[in-house]
Amino acid sequence: MSIDITAPAPRVFSESDTRTIEMSPSGYLEQILDRELKLTLHGIELGSERDDSMRQLTDTAATLYDGRILRELIQNAYDGAGEDVDAHILVKLDLASAPHAMLDVCNTGNGFSRADVDSIVNPARSRKQPGNSIGHKGLGFRSVTLISHDPQIYSSQAENKAAQFDGFCFRFADEQAQRERLLHLAEPDLAERAVGKTHSLQLPLVINSFPDDIQDYVRNCTSLDHLFASLLTTYLHSI
C-alpha cells in the first residue's frame, strides 16, 4: 500500500470561508500526528533511515541536559511567562503520588502557541537560539525523557487568561497509541513495521479528558489572584 504525502492543489478561499480554515488546537495536533506517521510509513517504503537518525539524535540531545533537567524545565516556564512582570512559576514534586512520583511545572504567562508546539515537536524550528539566558526550548525539553515516559502539557490559548486549559493539551503517543493511529493510515503489516520508528516527542497526542488532579489546578486557580497559562505534568520513573 502506497502512502500519498503529496500536497493538495492550492484552494482559493473567500471571506465567508475564513472560519473553516481556522484550525483548533486539537486539530493542529492531529495534523502533526498524521503528518509524522505518514512520513514514517513513506520512509519505510523507500528504505529511508530518517526516523532512526532522528530518534538517535533526540536521545543524544536529551543526555546533554542530564543533571540540569529541572533547571531546563523552569527556564522553559520562565520563557513562557513572557514579559509579564507579575508572572508566577510553580514547581511541585509529589513523591507520594502512586504509583509514580509526579512533577508539575506551571507558569502564569502566555499559553502555548503553534510555534511553541512546533519547537517541541521539531527542535530545529525553535524560535530561541543557543546561548540565550533562557533555555533553548525544544532541545532542553527533551531532557524530560530521561526521567519520564509520559510528559503531559496543558495550556490555555495563547495570551488568553481563561480559567481553563482550553488550548494545546497533549501528551506523546506511546507504541499502543501509534499502532491504533497507524492502522487507520496503512495496511496492518506496514503499520506494525512503523510502530516505534518515530520518536514519541514528534507525535503529540491530544488529551481530551483531564485527570482529577488537573481539574483541581483549574479550580484552585480560579480562587487565586493568578491563573496558570500552561502546565507540564510528568510521572517520574526515576529521580
Residue 193 maps to a domain: yes
Residue 8 maps to a domain: no
pLDDT over threshold 50, residue 10:
no
The confidence score (pLDDT) of residue 83 equals 65
Range scoring the smallest mean pLDDT among 11-25, 45-59, 91-105, 211-225? 11-25
Q: Where is mean pLDDT largest: 80-94, 96-110, 183-197?
A: 183-197
Residue 153 maps to a domain: yes
Q: Are 169 and 133 in contact (CB under 8 A)?
A: no
The confidence score (pLDDT) of residue 159 equals 58
- What residue numbers bound the domain in which 191 lies? 22-236
CATH code assigned at 109: 3.30.565
pLDDT over threshold 80, residue 14:
no
Residue 13 maps to a domain: no
Taking residues 42-67, what's their average pLDDT?
Answer: 86
Top-confidence residue, 26 or 215: 26
* Cα 23 from Cα 29, distance rounded (Å): 10
Residue 124 maps to a domain: yes
Q: How many domains does the chain have?
A: 1
Residue 178 maps to a domain: yes
Top-confidence residue, 142 or 192: 192
110-160 confidence digits (pLDDT tens) = 778 898 899 888 866 555 554 443 344 567 788 888 888 889 998 887 655
Residue 62 maps to a domain: yes
Q: Are 106 and 228 in contact (CB under 8 A)?
A: yes
Residue 17 maps to a domain: no
SS3 84: coil
